[in-house]
Structure 1
Amino acid sequence: MNSDRIEKKVDIRAPVSRVWEALTDHRQFGEWFRVKLESPFKIGETARGNITYPGYEHYKWEAVVKSMDKEKYFSFTWHPYAVDLNVDYSKEEPTLVEFFLEKTETGTLLRVVESGFDKVPAHRRAEALRMNDGGWTQQMVNINEYVTKK
């Protein structure tokens, strides 16, 4: 495993437009990602909400939207595995999460890259990398199931 980045990909049997919608419509994103967002994604703004995964409902979700290139690229920054309610993570350098969409013969290749773990404080870097690696594996399953069931 690379110490600075996570990369996952999934082939989704759906048009790029459908995958883009599931990624960038805040309500649809929330359904497969398991977070209830307060408002739509807007470049330069912080998206906020509560995690809806059972047992984690008391956790906040927050990310700053960096870029939205329609049906090609979506990115945000966030604080990886920020689960200690007694810690202020705002002083830490966030990681960058990037989604790349590519049209294929059978639908869409979706790739997610999260980078910048080398800037996460040393005392929590390995755990954040490990937990997000597993998290992105599951999220690729989640978006694939969400997009192909509708």
Structure 2
Amino acid sequence: ERVEPERVFSFRWHPYAIEPDVDYSQEPETRVQFELEDMNGGTLLKVVESGFNAIPEARRLKAFRMDSRGWDEQMANIEAFLSKS
């Protein structure tokens, strides 16, 4: 969706779309944005997923919770990787 090298990357997807028999293509997508920002001699990574208010109510809370947990895990993976380099 958006790319600014060494600064911003974003994409859209169907959050928590894990059921193989469900066609999610008619649902709205959320937007995930990664931003890099210089901070105190290092780099701050911000990850924001937005648009959950458009997800069907029956799936909204579960999708939000699962994606939030997933991003927490991915941020921990990134932190662990960077601490080794």
Asked whether the two chains share a fold, i.e. TM above 0.5, the reply is yes
Counterpart amino acid of residue 102 in structure 1: E
Q: How does 1:1-150 map to 2 (within 5 A)?
A: 66-150=1-85
Question: What TM-score do you get using the length of structure 1 for normalisation?
Answer: 0.54
Between the two structures, name the one with larger relative contact order (CA 8 Å, sep ≥ 6): 1
Amino acid aligned to 2:7: K
Task: For 1:85, give the aligned amino acid.
Answer: P
The Cα RMSD (Å) is 1.0
Residues 34-74 of structure 1 show CA distances to partners (whole Å, capped at 9, x for unaligned) of xxxxxxxxxxxxxxxxxxxxxxxxxxxxxxxx011011100
Aligned residues, how many? 85
The Cα of 1:84 is off from its aligned counterpart by: 0.6
Partner-residue secondary structure (3-state), 2:25: helix
Q: What percentage of aligned pairs have identical amino acids?
A: 49
- Give the drift of 1:145: 1.6
Q: In structure 1, list runs of 5 or more residues that go unmatched.
A: 1-65
**TM-superposition CA deviations, 1:85-110 (whole Å, max 9, x none):** 11011111100000110011241100
